[in-house]
Amino acid sequence: MSSEALNTTVDLGEKRGAFYVLEENKRLSESKIWSLLEQYYENASISAWNEIPFYPTSNPFIAETYAELILAFLRDYFSKLDLSKPVYIVEMAAGSGCFSFYLMKELSRLLEYFSALKQVDLRYVMADFTVNNVRSWMANEKLRPFAERGLLHFGLFRPETDKAIRKCALRELESEGDESVDLTVSSDEILLEAGMSTNPVIAIANYFFDSIKQDAFQIHSNQLKEVLQSFHYVPNPKAPDLLKFDDLIKSESCRDASFDYYGDSRLNAVLKSYQAEYENASILFPLGAFNCISNLLEISDNSLVLLSSDKGFVDAAYIDGLREQPFLPHHGVFSYSVNYDAIDRFFTELGGQTMLTSDDNLSIATALSILVKDQQTTSLEQTNYVFGERVDRHNTCNYLYFLQDLLTEVEASKSEKSSEILRACMGYIQLCNYDPVVFCLAAPRIYMSLEGLNVLQEKRLLEIIDAVRDNFYSVQQQYDVFYWIGRIYYGLNRVEPALAAFSDSLLTFGASSSSTYYMAACYEVKKDFESALRYYNDTLELEPGCKFTLEGISRVKTAITSPAEKKANPS
Residues that bind ligand SAM (CB under 6 A): 38, 41, 52, 54, 57-58, 93-96, 99, 128-130, 133, 158-160, 206-208, 211-212
* Eight-state DSSP code of residue 30: G
Residue 54 or residue 399: which is nearer to ligand SAM going by CB? 54
242 near 6, Cβ under 8 Å? yes
CB of 208 to ligand SAM, least distance (A): 5
Q: Which CB sits closer to ligand SAM, 38 or 480? A: 38
How many helices (H) and strands (E) the chain has is answered by 18, 21
Question: Least distance to ligand SAM from the beta carbon of 337, Å?
Answer: 13
- Secondary structure (DSSP) of 183-244: EEEE--SEEEETTS-SSPEEEEEES-GGGS--EEEEEETTEEEEEEEEEEEPPPTT-TT-B-
Considering beta carbons, is residue 129 or 346 the nearer one to ligand SAM? 129
Between CA 117 and CA 113 the distance in angstroms is 9
C-alpha 349/C-alpha 228 separation (Å) is: 27
Least distance in angstroms from the C-beta of 423 to ligand SAM: 21
Question: CA geometry: angle at 319 spanning 318 and 323, to 5°?
Answer: 85
Q: E strand or H helix at 353, and its extent?
A: strand 353-356
Closest separation in Å from C-beta 313 to ligand SAM: 18
Quote the CA–CA distance of 471 and 269 in Å, as a whole number. Answer: 43
Using the minimum distance from each CB to ligand SAM, give the nearer residue, 134 or 461: 134
Is residue 87 exposed (0-12), middle (13-18) or buried (19+ Cβ within 10 Å)? buried
How far apart are CB 287 and ligand SAM at their closest, in Å?
Answer: 12
State the minimum distance, in angstroms, from the CB of residue 50 to ligand SAM: 13
Minimum CB distance to ligand SAM, residue 295 (Å):
11
Name which of 38 and 341 has its Cβ closer to ligand SAM.
Answer: 38
Taking the complex as a whole, the smallest distance from the CB of residue 321 to ligand SAM amounts, in Å, to 29
**In the complex, least distance from residue 245 CB atom to ligand SAM, rounded to whole angstroms:** 13
The nearer residue to ligand SAM, 54 or 472, going by C-beta atoms, is 54
Residue 259 and residue 225: Cα distance in Å, rounded?
9
Cα gap 468→200, rounded to integer Å: 40
Q: Which residue is nearest to ligand SAM (CB)?
A: 95
| Closest CB to ligand SAM among residues 300, 308 | 308
Residue among 158 and 166 whose Cβ is closer to ligand SAM: 158
Taking the least distance from each CB to ligand SAM, the nearer of 92 and 281 is 92
Rounded Cα distance between 248 and 6, Å, is 12
Cα gap 450→467, rounded to integer Å: 19
User: How buried is residue 14: exposed, middle or buried, by Cβ count under 10 Å (0-12/13-18/19+)?
Assistant: exposed
At residue 324's C-alpha, the angle toward residues 318 and 329, to 5°, is 95
